[in-house]
Amino acid sequence: MEEIGKTRNWTKIAIAVLLLAALAMVFLISCSDQGEEGSNESAAVQSAVSGDAAAIAQERGLTPDDITAALKTYTPTGVHDEYIMFASGGHSGQVFVIGMPSMRILKEIAVFTPEPWQGWGFGELGTMEVLESGNIGEHELTWGDTHHPALSETEGDYDGEWLFINDKANARLAVIDLRDFETKQIVKNPIALNDHGGSMVTPDSEWIIEGGQYAAPLGWGYSSLDNYADDYRGMVTLWKFDREAGRIVPEDSFAMELPPYWQDLCDAGKKVSEGWIFCNSFNTEMATGGVESGEPPFEAGASQRDMDYMHIINLDKAIEVAQGGNTIEVNGFPVIPLDTAIEEELLYFAPEPKSPHGVDVAPGGEYMVVSGKLDPHVTVYSFEKIQAAIAAGNWETDEFGVPILNLDDVMEAQVELGLGPLHSQFDNQGYAYTSLFLEPSVARWSLGGDYAELNDDPEWSLVSKIPVHYNVGHIATAEGDTVSPDGRYLVSLNKWAIDRFQNVGPLLPQNFQLIDIAQPGDNLQLLYDMPFPSGEPHYAQIIKADKLDPWEVYPEVVWNSHTQSPDPNATLIGEERIERDGDNVEVFMTAIRSHFTPEHVEIKQGDHVLWHVTNVEQTYDATHGFTIPLYNINLSIEPGETASFEFDATEAGVFSYYCTEFCSALHLEMTGYLLVEPE
Amino acid sequence: MEEIGKTRNWTKIAIAVLLLAALAMVFLISCSDQGEEGSNESAAVQSAVSGDAAAIAQERGLTPDDITAALKTYTPTGVHDEYIMFASGGHSGQVFVIGMPSMRILKEIAVFTPEPWQGWGFGELGTMEVLESGNIGEHELTWGDTHHPALSETEGDYDGEWLFINDKANARLAVIDLRDFETKQIVKNPIALNDHGGSMVTPDSEWIIEGGQYAAPLGWGYSSLDNYADDYRGMVTLWKFDREAGRIVPEDSFAMELPPYWQDLCDAGKKVSEGWIFCNSFNTEMATGGVESGEPPFEAGASQRDMDYMHIINLDKAIEVAQGGNTIEVNGFPVIPLDTAIEEELLYFAPEPKSPHGVDVAPGGEYMVVSGKLDPHVTVYSFEKIQAAIAAGNWETDEFGVPILNLDDVMEAQVELGLGPLHSQFDNQGYAYTSLFLEPSVARWSLGGDYAELNDDPEWSLVSKIPVHYNVGHIATAEGDTVSPDGRYLVSLNKWAIDRFQNVGPLLPQNFQLIDIAQPGDNLQLLYDMPFPSGEPHYAQIIKADKLDPWEVYPEVVWNSHTQSPDPNATLIGEERIERDGDNVEVFMTAIRSHFTPEHVEIKQGDHVLWHVTNVEQTYDATHGFTIPLYNINLSIEPGETASFEFDATEAGVFSYYCTEFCSALHLEMTGYLLVEPE
């Protein structure tokens, strides 16, 4: 792994400063046309600033590129970032919100894993309910392996309203409301125990796609590996999203049975290809592993064939079939059987080289891009050609009877990029970008067709490459998987950091590298290395910040953030009280800077306590926390919110509850005594 | 709340560029003395770089200060940060590792809260054991409210070996090993349910101090608030740390009973005052709240007196008393009773104005600085005067019989700073810095005595103030609480962010503001706003990065990170196996890019499974993860490490285990089948 851009000698630094000086003169001349104030003030400013830019650059060994990168990314106090990246937190189970170009983490959104800062899963009843709905029967799940965040779309463009993300480890899907950046729903896939190809949305977010990964008997059942071809299956699940309710509607959703290839990543068609979805697959070898018995390990067994199959699914027709009831039930969930899918002409394959990771649909929907990670090319398919090939009916079938279109009939182009191509994104200048895991680098290449007009490079050709550090997986460009990518920035989601940062022990952060892609041709500049201090961040989406319009405070001082409506247990000032009914105690409390009311809660050992706290503030950022020792409770109560929890007072004693979110100069005094008298 | 530094007009930008140009010329002249290469290369570089610094500054509206701040903080790819900040993650329960001056988060260290990226508390037996040791009886605790990180010290200076941190919510203390940045131990305080004044270390880290907070009956017992003065007590606990073993030794530790004032924050004496400790207190009013019954709320009741009491404790003598057995047992833990402390001359008070937060001992140990948050001054005590006052024996006592020294006898100076002074740190130029919560700003003021020689400012005087955004709590300077502070940088740990960043919903990040304190006098520059995306970050310590020497990989390919020694269950290549003894199955597995061995684990429903995975790699950053769906297991296995977990195979089915840490191009193929045959 080569280090680049590390030569830092005085000569280069001198050049950097000269460059600044020369360019500054040009700039100053043009500015001084606009008035004389500049030169009047300059002497005063010069004398006031004793630490100077040139000396700093010299002292810190900054090169010319470093200086421009610093100025392109530095975001002064109070200036807001132009883009917001939603990055999967991988096996942290969470989502991270990152400002761009500053690459600062603005928030962690708790999704599948309890997180006490947000009061997520530490007693607050609404959060407990969301988490519990993701359990598998009696099996409590307290983490996830988040993979692909998907922003909701309207006509194929991000609308800033919702965010979906899947849990690969347990095949679950979560819905996050971007009014308050909180998770509102978790659904468990009823037919699969793991997934990968989620979540992706159709252009109006009516359907959320969850593709499978490792084949298994559908419905969580058991069968020996000896019966792999007969009993093991792949799948894709289509979840219906009710935007008005802000919830996935499981009873309106369905799945499709697929051959036991390992389906991987899907993308929805858009514009000309709207109504179709496309998924890659690997292990069409149907290898079942067994290295311990002398069989090839999966890594070899699943990498033998030159071609796997891109899955081409007629979604509109599949919806019709499902809604027409032409399904079987698996674990109570409607599934279109593979035979039905074939008969109803819902499913086609196209050969795709070799163990690819994902299908990426071009902004206009005309092209599907696949990168076989063991092949040096990207392969581009034409939706028009696919339709023609389907109409022509000229195909063979795989052993399950699925039609396999001829590659030559459906391929538009192949572009040789380099080693380990993995994932592609698009910009607004007719370029696509593909990560190359093995080099490691990011390639810029030119699209053909109508896109060719947008730049001067020959169509379907490699334009430029930029090295990254190290082991890039997915990449994300600004709005780069929508119908109208913004260009501007690309983030390389690197899985290894190695020497990029100060060593922090054997477990290292990931490395998000920000790349400037604004200039056409061979101009790609590495701007920033951002250590990502959490799980393997599988994928990210980047949205223009002004498309988001979150609440600053909750709309009313009685708010339940789970129902997004007034809470019947909300308590206003003057309504605080403690009610007792036998052994059941109910506390109605308010929180305001800097006290809780009541400050004494006197109960008896053995009582069951239901406790509501309303934050009656409407001041931006005036969040209060609430904890009681021993009972493992912590709430985050944002302005206007009501939070409830319950517990059995099994232990007698004196418990100081207090505000855990520093709220005022007298925050330490924001406390009270829970007195539990012994039985 | 005033916005500063936001005037961004073309004139200022023009001045910025002129400034750069003028300074660059000076710099270039001095550089060109060293050789002619600069000018030879400059033309080529100028023409090659089409995006230029001046245009970028203009386009992005950067002021002169912004430009210098950008150049002072930008850290190019592969360049390591000079300082590392360990920040408490507040009610996240974790610790965050932040590089400076880039202000990038390098790592989250899981402490009190399970975190799956690190495999902390998701089945791995060693992590489960550490977390369980922090439970209170049968009560499982799965979060904490981390407050004060304390780096281990040798002769009063950070040595980079260990980090300690307390959980305020449940009065616990954790030990983190800085060889691998992992938590090794959690101890529960046996006499208190909550704390605050932890953790601080003595100059050679032999003792870790944990002070109390809200008074309660010692030993977790019950008593009515009517008996407050008789039954409620404060405390300070002294935990013995065995550096060789890397563990706190509870059986060699002890506590001191204190009056039911709310002890808050302690600091150990150093150099001339080594062997003593100092703690502030508030609510010496002994207010018990009760706003719901017409009593003053705590915020008012605890703020009535003009003076609270700084606690002055003769630690060396207290250790003698405790080791001599002159203690009582509370919950099985030795406690020096208050009467004994008085008799043995272990405890004195000095009046301190008014509801302060913390005592901060100057680098040489001569002075103790207290800031009453409801008083506009910092009050400075002299250790020499304290000793003289104790020797003179001229005092009154409080109602518990504790001697109260006369303020005039022990005070060295008072400096008026402004509204809401909270916490002080020191630098290498004879300055102290104090956060002012209510202004909000950070004040620089000059020390007297020997420190006065280090700068030109009059001693014991306010020198400068810099506004911060917003509501600053603690501050941290580089090594600023050691015997040899570095100066350079100060971080203002602001509790509210409000408008500083793009809105991310009602719950906002905190804001760490980096301030350049390198220049003396009135020169303080705000460099960087860092959103802190987690809990209320109570306190932080900043260490020179080169003092840390963590492992890149574990020392041997058989490592147990909990014992920091070879693991008896480690498995090398060729030793993989599955052993069965009745219903007990034991799996010995290896992980290497890109397969697990074995790839099939076939068991029966009802089996109990104990499973070991050894990562046999020794490549830096070659971490593997491991998960099994449904059973809520996730491991992080760093190079050389062995991790073990166990579960009851209650569910039949086909479960794909896989690597959750993206490790190679064939990472997706790093999987295997757990087949659980039905009963």
B507 has pLDDT over 80: yes
Q: How many CB atoms lie within 10 A of CB A677?
A: 16
Mean pLDDT to the nearest integer, B417-424? 96
pTM of the model: 0.94
- Note the helical H segments in B238-396: 298-301, 315-323, 338-343, 383-392
3-class secondary structure, A371: strand
Rounded Cα gap, residues A671 and A620, in angstroms: 22
Query: What six digits make up the tokens of B676?
Result: 């659980």
Cβ neighbors of B576 (< 8 A, separation 6 or more) are A292, B588, B589, B590, B597, B598
**pLDDT (tens digit per residue) in A442-467:** 999 999 999 999 999 999 999 999 99
Q: How many CB atoms lie within 10 A of CB B244?
A: 6
Amino acid at A440: P
According to DSSP, the residues that pair with A359 across neighbouring strands are: A370
**pLDDT (tens digit per residue) in A269-324:** 999 999 999 999 999 999 999 999 999 999 999 999 999 999 999 999 999 999 99
Mean pLDDT to the nearest integer, B543-560? 97
A7 has pLDDT over 60: no
The proportion of chain A whose per-residue pLDDT surpasses 90, expressed as a percent, equals 91
B303 has pLDDT over 50: yes
Q: What pLDDT score does A198 carry?
A: 87
Tell me which residue in A499, A598, A620 faces B498 most closely, judged by beta carbons.
Answer: A620
Parallel/antiparallel/unpaired status of strands A367-372 and A356-361: antiparallel
Mean pLDDT to the nearest integer, B573-591? 98
Mean pLDDT to the nearest integer, A34-50? 37
Half-sphere exposure of A674 (CA within 13 A, CB side): 29
- In this prediction, residue B655 has a pLDDT band, given cuts at 50, 70 and 90, of very high
Q: What pLDDT score does A21 carry?
A: 54
- In this prediction, residue B195 has a pLDDT band, given cuts at 50, 70 and 90, of very high
Q: In chain A, what residues touch B289 (CB-CB under 8 Å)?
A: 599-600, 671-673
A171 has pLDDT over 80: yes
B43 has pLDDT over 60: no
Q: In chain B, what residues touch A636 (CB-CB under 8 Å)?
A: 507
Mean pLDDT to the nearest integer, A49-78? 88
- In this prediction, residue B192 has a pLDDT band, given cuts at 50, 70 and 90, of very high
Residue ranges of A 440-459 with Cβ closer than 8 A to chain B:
none
Q: In chain B, what residues touch A22 (CB-CB under 8 Å)?
A: 46
For A41, name the nearest residue in chain B, comparing CA atoms only. Answer: B15
Query: Cα dihedral sign for B517, B522, B527, B528?
Result: positive
Mean pLDDT to the nearest integer, B200-220? 97
B612 has pLDDT over 50: yes
Q: What pLDDT score does A18 carry?
A: 52
**pLDDT (tens digit per residue) in B7-32:** 344 455 455 555 455 444 434 433 33
For A84, name the nearest residue in chain B, comparing CA atoms only. Answer: B502
Q: How many helices (H) and strands (E) does chain B have?
A: 11, 45
**What DSSP character marks residue B197?**
S
Q: What pLDDT score does B12 carry?
A: 54
Count interface pairs A-B at CB distance under 8 A.
672
Rounded Cα gap, residues B630 and A191, in angstroms: 13
What would the 3-class secondary structure string for B132-168 be? HCCCECCECCCCCCECCCEEEEECCEEEEEEEEEEEC
Rounded Cα gap, residues A76 and A79, in angstroms: 6
**pLDDT (tens digit per residue) in B253-266:** 999 999 999 999 99
Rounded Cα gap, residues B527 and A245, in angstroms: 44
Nearest to A615 by CA among A603, A623, A627, A605: A623
- In this prediction, residue A52 has a pLDDT band, given cuts at 50, 70 and 90, of confident
3-class secondary structure, A480: coil
- In this prediction, residue B54 has a pLDDT band, given cuts at 50, 70 and 90, of confident
Mean pLDDT to the nearest integer, B340-361? 96
Pick the more confident residue, A192 or B24: A192
Tell me which residue in B3, B12, B21 faces A21 most closely, judged by beta carbons.
Answer: B21
**pLDDT (tens digit per residue) in B318-343:** 999 999 999 999 999 999 999 999 99
What would the 3-class secondary structure string for A100-122 be? ECCCEEEEEECCCCCECCCCECC
**pLDDT (tens digit per residue) in B621-636:** 999 999 999 999 999 9
Q: What pLDDT score does A20 carry?
A: 53
Q: What pLDDT score does B10 carry?
A: 46
Tell me which residue in A3, A18, A302 faces B38 most closely, judged by beta carbons.
Answer: A18
| Contact B659/A at CB under 8 A | no
A33 has pLDDT over 50: no
Q: In chain B, what residues touch A56 (CB-CB under 8 Å)?
A: 68, 71-72
Amino acid at A219: G
Cβ neighbors of B556 (< 8 A, separation 6 or more) are B566, B640
Q: What pLDDT score does A48 carry?
A: 31
A331 has pLDDT over 80: yes
Rounded Cα gap, residues B564 and B560, in angstroms: 6
Mean pLDDT across chain B: 93
Verify whether the Cβ–Cβ distance A41 to B15 is below 8 Å: yes
3-class secondary structure, A248: strand
